[in-house]
């Protein structure tokens, strides 16, 4: 049963644009991370942190005022806030007034000494940090699944390619390690970007902390301690020592660069690689195409913070806010669905050995010609004569493949030619695919044990834990 109000809400939604990143793709936890409720409840937390720190440093703020703010931290009247913003044309002041309405005792000290970027930028940094905390375990899961796959097929020969042309054999597991190497670089990049984040702290209108210095009557130590206390309450280790009105927009570049780089990796390994070696079923191919499609969007989004950072002159220009509302959220939402989809694909990879064998049979005789020549020479033959024989037979076999669309019959031609009679008994051994894969299995084992498995250890406890949301 759907009541009229709910039905009417759905009908109205059909007449408005909704981002498919939220309505169709991204996880609930990432959608919540960039939601209005997360944003504005965080603003209120920051006002509470500020008041607590100011009180502890001697400003005339009472415990009753703090408790009043804490008791109303979550019950936001969004309709009132929207009406206030319509009148004031300022989102932060609209929410200051809305908070003050339900906290009349605390009203005089809400936002005391702060500027809009105290809540705006600090909240952005919290959201970026929390966004990385959502993505990192998901990326670790993808790496873990692919590592298991690589280990299983470490020694299964398959065609190797250079310039997208068949070349020396590799193994299925070794190829998976090429994908894994890029993904391990990505997880290190995301973790570094996350760990490099600092808090803006309490810096004032142009970053000089002048308003707070005035509040504390010129006491520089108290202003520094205020910054430290609020930073600690927000669970950051450090704050930026210098800012303008905002934290440097190079921080956004750094964060979104790591995500764009992840997008490039996902695009490379998803659709075309797996389809070419026939490891995906039809459903998975649709998922892989989605990864490629969204990865292009993720890569393209890095242009926004780059341009924003380049025009943030002096202490701040205001042309960053609208752009950042879109680019920051979309980058994390896009990365989120890409990783969820990639995990689904990596857990369902299917290898078809007979198909792989057929591809190898088409190409291996050409690759084995040097081995055949060496066997003939060991049996007493002349290298130059054998080379010419092989060259002629190879051209004839290639013509059948390329001009007639037939199978590679070079091996059959060699077997029919009396010149090769002395080595016919060796041909099966010469053409054994595993003799062409070099040290691929050993490389897989070492790479997984020395680089991949240790890298995943910090994420083990989080990889399979459901994130509980404070909704």
pLDDT digits (tens, 9 = 90+) for 123-136: 999 999 999 999 99
256 occurs within a structural domain: yes
What value, to the nearest 5°, has the Cα angle with vertex 125 and ends 124 and 128? Answer: 85
| Beta carbons within 8 Å of 119's beta carbon, 6+ residues apart | 42, 43, 46, 47, 92, 111
Per-residue pLDDT of the chain (471 residues; tens, 9 = 90+): 445 555 666 676 678 888 889 888 889 999 999 999 999 999 999 999 999 999 999 999 999 999 999 999 999 999 999 999 999 999 999 999 999 999 999 999 999 999 999 999 999 999 999 999 999 999 999 999 999 999 999 999 999 988 878 888 999 999 999 999 999 999 999 999 999 999 999 999 999 999 999 999 999 999 999 999 999 999 999 999 999 999 999 999 999 999 999 999 999 988 655 544 555 566 677 888 899 999 999 999 999 999 999 998 888 887 888 899 999 999 999 999 999 999 988 888 888 899 899 889 888 888 888 889 999 999 999 999 999 999 999 899 889 888 888 888 888 999 999 999 999 998 889 889 999 999 999 999 999 999 999 999 999 988 875 544 443
**Could you tell me if 316 and 391 lie in one domain?**
no
**Do 149 and 285 lie in a common domain?**
yes
Q: Tokens 């298991």 appear where? A: 148
Structural domains of the chain, count: 2
241: in domain: yes
DSSP H helices in 153-249: 172-196, 210-215, 220-233
Query: What pLDDT is recorded for position 284?
Result: 72
pLDDT score for 314: 87
Query: What confidence score (pLDDT) does residue 3 get?
Result: 53
Answer yes or no: do 124 and 205 share one domain: yes
> Are residues 324 and 190 part of one domain?
yes
Residues 345, 380, single domain; the answer is: no
Query: Under 8 Å CB-to-CB from 248, ≥6 apart: which residues?
Result: 240, 309, 312
Q: Is residue 347 part of a domain?
A: yes
Residue 65 within a domain: no
Given its phi and psi angles, is residue 168 left (phi above 0), alpha (psi -120 to 50 degrees) or beta?
A: beta
CA distance 427 to 444: 29
Asked if 288 and 417 sit in the same domain, the reply is: no
Q: In the prediction, which pLDDT does 471 show?
A: 37
The structure tokens listed for 186 are: 């990505």
pLDDT value of residue 401: 84
**Cα 116-300-332 angle, rounded to 5 deg:** 50
Asked whether residue 376 is domain-assigned, the answer is yes
Q: Is residue 182 part of a domain?
A: yes
Q: What is the CA radius of gyration of the chain?
A: 31
Residues 330 and 376 in one domain: no
Q: Same domain, yes or no, for 347 and 375? A: no
pTM above the 0.85 mark? yes
Same domain, 142 and 204: yes
Residues spanned by the domain of 394: 354-435
Q: What is the pLDDT of residue 2?
A: 44
pLDDT at 320: 82
Same structural domain, 429 and 280: no
Tokens of residue 189, six digits? 């990049």
What is the CATH number for 424? 1.10.40.30
Q: Could you tell me the CATH number of the domain that includes residue 281?
A: 1.20.200.10
Residues 416 and 317 both lie in one domain: no
194/289 same-domain check:
yes
């Amino acid at each position: 049963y759907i009541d009229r109000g709910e039905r009417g809400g759905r009908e109205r939604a059909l007449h408005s644009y909704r981002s498919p990143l939220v309505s169709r793709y991204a996880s609930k936890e990432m959608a919540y991370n960039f939601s209005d409720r997360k944003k504005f409840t965080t603003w209120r937390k920051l006002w509470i942190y500020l008041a607590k720190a100011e009180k502890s440093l001697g400003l005339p703020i009472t415990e009753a005022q703090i408790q009043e703010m804490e008791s109303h931290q979550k019950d936001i009247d969004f309709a009132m806030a929207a009406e206030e913003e319509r009148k004031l044309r300022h989102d932060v002041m609209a929410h200051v007034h809305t908070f003050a309405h339900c906290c009349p005792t605390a009203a005089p000290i809400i936002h005391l000494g702060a500027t809009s970027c105290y809540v705006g930028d600090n909240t952005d940094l919290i959201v970026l940090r929390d966004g990385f905390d959502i993505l990192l375990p998901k990326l670790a899961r993808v790496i873990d699944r692919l590592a298991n796959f690589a280990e299983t097929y470490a020694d299964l020969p398959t065609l190797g390619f250079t310039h997208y042309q068949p070349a020396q054999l590799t193994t299925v597991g070794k190829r998976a390690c090429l994908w894994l190497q890029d993904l391990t670089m990505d997880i290190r990049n995301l973790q570094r970007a996350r760990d490099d984040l600092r808090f803006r702290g309490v810096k004032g209108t142009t970053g000089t902390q002048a308003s707070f210095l005035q509040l504390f009557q010129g006491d520089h130590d108290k202003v520094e301690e205020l910054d430290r206390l609020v930073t600690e309450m927000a669970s950051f280790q450090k704050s930026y020592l210098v800012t303008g009105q905002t934290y440097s927009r190079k921080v956004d570049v750094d964060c979104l660069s790591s995500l764009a780089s992840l997008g490039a990796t996902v695009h490379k390994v998803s659709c075309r690689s797996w389809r070419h070696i026939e490891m995906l079923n039809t459903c998975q191919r649709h998922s892989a195409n989605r990864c490629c499609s969204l990865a292009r969007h993720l890569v393209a989004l890095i242009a926004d913070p780059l341009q924003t950072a380049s025009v943030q002159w002096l202490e701040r220009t205001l042309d960053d806010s609208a752009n950042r509302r879109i680019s920051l959220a979309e980058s994390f939402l896009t990365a989120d669905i890409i990783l969820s989809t990639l995990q689904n694909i990596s857990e369902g990879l299917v290898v078809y050995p007979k198909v792989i064998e057929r591809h190898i049979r088409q190409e291996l005789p050409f690759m084995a010609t040097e081995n055949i020549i060496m066997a003939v020479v060991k049996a007493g033959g002349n290298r130059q004569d054998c080379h010419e024989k092989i060259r002629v037979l190879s051209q004839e076999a290639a013509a059948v493949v390329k001009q007639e669309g037939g199978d590679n019959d070079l091996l059959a031609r060699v077997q029919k030619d009396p010149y090769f009679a002395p080595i016919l008994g060796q041909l099966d051994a010469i053409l054994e695919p595993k003799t062409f894969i070099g040290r691929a299995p050993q490389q897989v084992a070492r790479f997984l044990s020395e680089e991949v498995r240790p890298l995943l250890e910090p994420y083990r406890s989080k990889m399979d834990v459901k994130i509980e949301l404070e909704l």
